[in-house]
Structure 1
Amino acid sequence: MSQDLIRQHLLAAFPQFEPALVDVLAAHAALKTFSAGDLLMNTGQNMRFTMLLVEGLVKLYREGEDGLEFFMYYIQPGGACALSMICSTRQQTSEIKAKAVDKTTVLAVPTALMDELMKSYKSWYYFVLETYRARFEELLVVIDHVSFKAMDERLEFYLEKQHRDLNTRNLLITHGEIARDLNSSREVISRLLKKMEQQNKVVLHRSYIEYLK
């Protein structure tokens, strides 16, 4: 039954995978379910598998030496964590944190299987390359904004990205969470959000931010 369930998830979230690859993953990988707020991956953790997201939403962070967290990107169904691929294949520990935003199901692909998948299945090979490319480009955009943009511009970019990634204008996120993601203070973020509201770019509700742009 579990193999049939894995096949169903793979066909729904990864339709580009060839049938033979689906069979191998169904036979060797495992489904893992996480509740909202659970850590899928923590800094310093030994990576024994690569995560393929089949349901839910995952948020990736980089943690600094001072304990502050910096938001990197989301992983949505049909995606994978490029950094977990690198860490697992090189048998390195994780340098990031991955947290479930809501109820999330992942397919855990064992490290020992990675070399065989890369050599034997073109759809996996191209999937890994595309995952690396997409994450690299996404990180370049983040680096550009951190390095060259003022905080008000970074905040607008952050909210626009939240809207695009989550496909909603009602962003269920607090001022404090935004401040942590942008490595700023709650006071600064609240002041900038109020300014954006005056410019008719957002509406600040009690429990969410309505993005208008």
Structure 2
Amino acid sequence: MTETLEWVERFPGLSRLAPDIKDMLISQSAVVEVPTGTTIFGPGHSPENMLFLLDGTVRVQQVSDTGHEIVLYRIHAGESCVLTTACLLAFEDYSAEGIAETNVRAAAIPRTLFDELVGQSKPFRDFVFAAFSKRITDLFLMIDEVAFQRLDVRLADKLIKLSDGQDVIKTTHQMLSVELGTAREVVSRQLQEFQRRGWIEQSRGSVKLLDRDQLQRLAQHNH
């Protein structure tokens, strides 16, 4: 299947690898398909494969001992999972869970090949660590937001991002609280305030944006 053979070309960092390294990646990888809602990995398990996402989105979230959840980041097509990278490098179990938000297709390369390539191929190593450093930077920004930014600003920003240009967002107070790493009651209060101002309209399982400009203006305080 040509599509499978060419998956390496969809990752700029991998497409520049030497032909023999590419052949190893292609011959020893498997393209896996996972339906929406599947938990791809979770705490207490160690990664067997390095995943390169070809289609779809995976949400990576952390659950605390007290049961609080927070979305750490999303993996999109053309990206690798840095949490998996970290666990592979440190020989540790996952500390968070990865959930397929859509139907997902990914190329999986076994741990043994990952170890071999990180050790032998500088371009492969560069690819792995470039993705790693970018994601670490993103995570520091998120920690800064959670610790220091106002919740109303973060919620406005999140609604704009989740809307993806549409007026209606399929979401719940619980899902938004996980996105923002805060209590559901806090999010509910803030959404009520936005509704009182006429910026949004809430209904069961969705939020409708009525005044995108005002939300955008508030979200700008983040930047």
TM range (shorter): 0.7 to 0.9
Cα separation, 2, equivalents of 1:180 and 1:66: 13
Q: Are 1:14 and 2:11 counterparts?
A: yes
Unpaired runs of at least 5, structure 1: none
SS at match of 1:142: helix
The change in CA–CA distance for 1:14 and 1:199 in structure 2 (over 3 A counts) is farther
Shift of 1:129: 1.9
How many matched pairs?
207
- Cα RMSD of the aligned pairs, angstroms, is 2.3
- For 2:124 and 2:203, the matched residues in 1 are separated by 44
Of the two, which has the highest radius of gyration?
2
Q: Contact 2:172–2:204 (CA<8 Å) still a contact in 1?
A: no
- More moved, 152-161 vs 134-143: 152-161
The alignment partner of 1:60 has SS state of strand
Measured in 1, the distance between the counterparts of 2:26 and 2:199 equals 46
Distance of aligned partners of 1:182 and 1:15 in 2 relative to their CA distance in 1, 3 Å threshold: closer
2:113 & 2:165 partners in 1: Cα distance? 37
CA-to-partner distance for each residue in 1:129-157, whole Å, 9 max, x for gaps? 22112111111111011111232223223
**Letter of the structure 2 residue corresponding to residue 14 of structure 1:** F
Shift of 1:36: 0.9
The letter for the 2-side match of 1:63 is V
Asked whether the 8 Å contact 1:89–1:114 carries over to 2, the reply is: no
Which stretch shifts more, 13-22 or 40-49?
A: 13-22
> TM-score, normalization: structure 1?
0.84
In 2: Cα distance, 1:7 partner to 1:208 partner: 40
Matches within 5 A, 1:3-152: 4-11=2-9, 13-16=10-13, 17-18=15-16, 20=19, 21-152=21-152
The Cα of 1:97 is off from its aligned counterpart by: 0.5
Identity %: 24
User: 19-28 vs 77-86, which deviates more?
Assistant: 19-28
Residue in 1 that maps onto 2:219: none
Q: What do residues 50-90 of structure 1 show as CA deviations (whole Å, max 9, x unaligned)?
A: 11111100000111112221111110001111110121233
For the residues of structure 1 that align with 2:35 and 2:205, how far apart are their CA atoms?
A: 21
Q: Secondary structure at the match of 1:46?
A: coil
The answer for the alignment partner of 1:171 in structure 2 is: 169
1:117 maps to amino acid: L
> Tell me, what secondary structure is at the counterpart of 1:80?
coil
Alpha-carbon offset, residue 105 of structure 1: 1.0
2:22 and 2:171 map into 1 onto residues whose CA distance is 36
TM-score (norm 2): 0.81
2:40/2:99 contact within 8 Å kept: yes
